[in-house]
Amino acid sequence: MCYTGGMDSEKTIRQIETALAELLPSPEGEAAALHAAMRWAVEGGGKRVRPLVCLAAAEAVGGAADDALMPACAIELLHSYTLVHDDLPAMDNDTERRGRPSVWAKFGEDTAILAGDALQALAFVALAKTPVSCPGVRAGLLSILGEAAVGVVRGQAAELAGSKDVAYVYRHKTADLFVAAARMGATAGGGTAAQVERLGTFALHLGLAFQHEDDLLDGDSPLGRVEAECQVREHTDAALAALDGLPGDTSFLASLAARLATRKA
Amino acid sequence: MCYTGGMDSEKTIRQIETALAELLPSPEGEAAALHAAMRWAVEGGGKRVRPLVCLAAAEAVGGAADDALMPACAIELLHSYTLVHDDLPAMDNDTERRGRPSVWAKFGEDTAILAGDALQALAFVALAKTPVSCPGVRAGLLSILGEAAVGVVRGQAAELAGSKDVAYVYRHKTADLFVAAARMGATAGGGTAAQVERLGTFALHLGLAFQHEDDLLDGDSPLGRVEAECQVREHTDAALAALDGLPGDTSFLASLAARLATRKA
């Protein structure tokens, strides 16, 4: 994907990936296989949409993207762990992820369980490493990430239990991490409580549009094609509306919302 | 077990269990099975040794045990999640835990994976709820818990990989959570950096004595009976020595170390 806007997304993605590589343990020592599996999970590519949202949210409130680099890594580590556990035989039983063997297929089921566990822990280590100017900021970040980390599991559990409440499942399974990304970015960027909420609303609708678009691309929307297309449009519009009146540069987030709604993969 | 010392341990355990019950989600709604599995994992008893260490460490530096209640819950939630994942078929394949069905045996493998994941997340939510007087305290707690959460997985992975480095495996697999419990308690209780380190040293030796005693009780020490007994004695002595010179009441921790070294179960 190519984005227009204030941030140079290629350069920003490289910056995120460098920071992730520094956070991840090197694949050596007594726990070498674990460390290799953790790296395999995170270095497998992906669009890095959530960390980009986090950095752009810091800019949207008038802060610097750099202030949100550790929270951006945290949300990507958390997202990565959920994929590792989702792919397990007892869950979706996927042997491939992004054109490569999934973590359990390559490293074994036991190591994959542990790698997911350690990636979740590492997300919170990244938060501990966030430089903050105001002491309340870290408390805010921890609260946001902790609640999202519980929420995303809740969404997966509801889906697993065959919940018919699509709104509940999508809100938690998918949107919770987008919302946390945006709220953490706005918090780290020095946003007011109202601005943090505004960006949370943006990300909620972005996440829901993203999930409905995913269903359309996979051809398996539980709502049917017409209703899913309607949901994508409505949530994209609501996301864009939430950006009105923010003090910083919102062009990246606006372009992201527009692009996600019309993506082809 | 019955402890003597400043804290009334029966009353303190009830206080910890009440706080845990309030943190855990109620078993209803779309994710009811997940919530029930989380409660099953935490409410299955256990000696609550790690949270007791956390509270007693706050007292040992002259603080109030109550200041460390949320960190104490956090360490017990983290410990509980590791047991849920340890018992999985791909790991130790245990169908029982403390005389009851293990989480996966009762709720299924998929729900057990998710319950462990959510319990780890909830540990960090508990940290977010810790009332702190000084802003640096939460940053300290987060750093300690995050590093321990990575460390404990590292220890399990090393053991899984057949590491012959018993000291490395025990240091991480077992002692890391004891160390985090003591350091978080001392931090929340307002201890100085030197006091926090002192209690970390105490807990490192306590954890190692605990693990070697466990091996002796199970009759499967990798070091052999005589060497394991020697390790229990040496680490107990080192733990007790680390308590010298602390400003608060250390009688509970001292009695705990003495009891753990001579326990029968």
Which of B92, B138, B142, B165 to mutate to test binding with chain A, by most A CBs within 10 Å of its CB? Answer: B142
Is B3 part of a structural domain of the chain? no
Q: How confident is the model at residue A28 (pLDDT cuts 50, 70, 90)?
A: confident
Is residue B122 one of the residues assigned to a domain? yes
Domain that holds residue B183: 9-261
Domain total of chain A: 1
Here the CATH number for the domain that contains residue A188 is: 1.10.600.10
Cβ contacts below 8 Å, chain A against chain B, sum to 164
Residue of A nearest to B158 (CA): A31
Give residue A259's pLDDT: 87
pLDDT beyond 60 at B2: no
pLDDT top residue among A103 and B46: A103
pLDDT at A3 over 60: no
DSSP 8-state assignment for residue A26: P
Find residues 91-110 of chain A whose CB sits inside 8 Å of chain B.
91, 108-110
Neighboring chain B residues of A125 at a CB cutoff of 8 Å: 143, 146-147, 149-150
The mean pLDDT value for A39-43 works out to 96
Residue A4 lies in a domain: no
In chain B, % of residues over pLDDT 90: 85
Mean pLDDT over B244-265 rounds to 89
Q: How many CB atoms lie within 10 A of CB A131?
A: 11
> For chain B, what is the mean pLDDT?
93
The answer to whether the CB of A77 falls within 8 A of the CB of A121 is no
Min Cα separation B108/chain A (Å) = 9
Cβ–Cβ of A127/B146 closer than 8 Å?
yes
* Reported confidence tier of residue A4, pLDDT bands at 50, 70, 90: very low
What is the model's pLDDT at position B132? 85
Q: Which of A110, A149, A154 sits opposite B160 (nearest CB)?
A: A110
Q: What is the pLDDT of residue B6?
A: 55
Nearest by CB to residue A142, choosing from B127, B160, B168, is B127
Contact A124 B142 (CB under 8 A): yes
Write down the pLDDT at residue B264: 72
Q: Which pLDDT value is given to residue A45? A: 77
Does residue B4 surpass a pLDDT of 70?
A: no
Q: How far is A199 from chain B (nearest CA, A)?
A: 21
Chain A positions touching B135 (Cβ under 8 A) are 135-136
Provide the sign of the torsion angle of the four alpha carbons A11, A52, A160, B156, taken in this order.
positive
pLDDT tens-digit map of B101-146: 999 999 999 999 999 999 999 999 999 999 887 778 999 999 999 9
Residues 171-230 on B with a CB inside 8 Å of A are none
A8-67 residues touching B, CB cutoff 8 A: 25, 30-34
In a domain, A1, yes or no: no
Mean pLDDT of all residues in chain A?
93
Give residue-wise pLDDT tens across range A158-213. 999 999 999 999 999 999 999 999 999 999 999 999 999 999 999 999 999 999 99
Give the per-residue pLDDT at A207: 96
pLDDT score, position A9:
85
- Token pair for residue A46? 């992906």
> For residue A136, what is the nearest residue in chain B, using CA coordinates?
B135
Which residues of chain B neighbour A71 with C-beta distances below 8 Å? none
Residues of A in contact with B155 (CB under 8 A): 31
Do the chains contact at A146 and B127, CB–CB below 8 Å?
yes
Task: Look at residue A3 and tell me if it is in a domain.
Answer: no
In a domain, B225, yes or no: yes
Encode pLDDT of B55-64 as tens digits. 999 999 999 9
Greater pLDDT, B4 or A157: A157
User: What's the 3-state SS for chain A?
Assistant: CCCCCCCCHHHHHHHHHHHHHHHCCCCCCCCHHHHHHHHHHHCCCCCCHHHHHHHHHHHHCCCCHHHHHHHHHHHHHHHHHHHHHHCCCCCCCCCEECCEECHHHHHCHHHHHHHHHHHHHHHHHHHHCCCCCCCHHHHHHHHHHHHHHHHHHHHHHHHHCCCCCHHHHHHHHHHHHHHHHHHHHHHHCCCCHHHHHHHHHHHHHHHHHHHHHHHHHHCCCCCCHHHHHHHHHHHHHHHHHHCCCCCCCCHHHHHHHHHHHCCCC
pLDDT confidence band for A130 (50 / 70 / 90): very high
Minimal CA separation from B164 to chain A, in Å: 9
Question: Is the distance from CB of A124 to CB of B144 less than 8 angstroms?
Answer: no
Across the interface, of A34, A138, A158, the residue whose CB is closest to B154 is: A34
Please report residues of A whose CB lies closer than 8 A to that of B138: 135, 138-139, 142
- Say if B232 is an interface residue toward chain A (CB within 8 Å): no
How sure is the predictor about A6, in pLDDT bands with cuts at 50, 70 and 90?
low
pLDDT number for residue B207: 96
Which ipTM did the prediction report?
Answer: 0.95
Which of the four pLDDT bands, split at 50, 70 and 90, describes residue B43?
A: very high
